[in-house]
Amino acid sequence: MVAFQGDVSEHVLAMERALGGGGSAVEVRRAGIVPRCNGIVLPGGESTTIAKHLARTGVGDEIRAAARSGVPLMATCAGLIVISQEIVEETRFLPLGLLDVRVVRNAFGSQSESFEANLQVEGFNSPYRAVFIRAPAIVGWDAEVDVLSRIEEIAVAVRGENVMGLAFHPELTGDLRFHEIFLDMI
């Protein structure tokens, strides 16, 4: 659990519930821990802040190496921005390039445009209640990337070979279906 900034404790709680005792979530704030993990989660928060900490501590390089060697990675909201291939009109930081998607930051506007919505998700037999907070949008993706859910023409949940990217916050509702997909990837 990359724990520099954001709603880390909510992610830890949700993951421990999903694990049900079959593993544990550890908070990572320095280099040397990621190489020993068999799954990586990048929570939501502020992407500019998280990107800065990833670069400064070397944890970003460790995540890149682990994900490229096949370790499963789940990235939500700001995390998705950080691992994307390209951020539209963004010069403040470079993404890690671990998921072949093009994203737009704050795609829906300021906090007053943040919303909850029921999503249709591929493989789910009932709608998924999703919480979008100053959320990014996935506006382009490689043919190898599966789109699991979309709002009109934009994608909000996608999956590459070992990487899942979500524009919303699966840790803020009690619904753990995306966590279960992630754990199945491990």
- Binding positions for L-glutamine are 45-47, 105, 133-134
State which of positions 29-68 bind other proteins (CB under 8 A).
Answer: 29, 44-46, 48-49, 52-53, 56
Contacts by residues 154-162 (CB-CB < 8 Å, ≥ 24 positions apart): 154/107, 155/101, 156/119, 156/130, 156/132, 157/119, 157/121, 158/99, 158/101, 160/99, 160/100, 161/70, 162/67, 162/70, 162/71, 162/72, 162/73
Q: Does 84 bind other proteins (CB under 8 A)?
A: no
Positions marked active-site = 77, 169, 171
At 121, list the tokens. Answer: 């998700």
Cβ 47 to other proteins shortest distance, Å: 8
Which of 17, 24, 31, 113 lies at the binding interface for other proteins (CB under 8 A)?
113
Among 23, 24, 26, 92, binds other proteins (CB under 8 A): 92
Query: Minimum Å distance from CB 145 to other proteins?
Result: 19
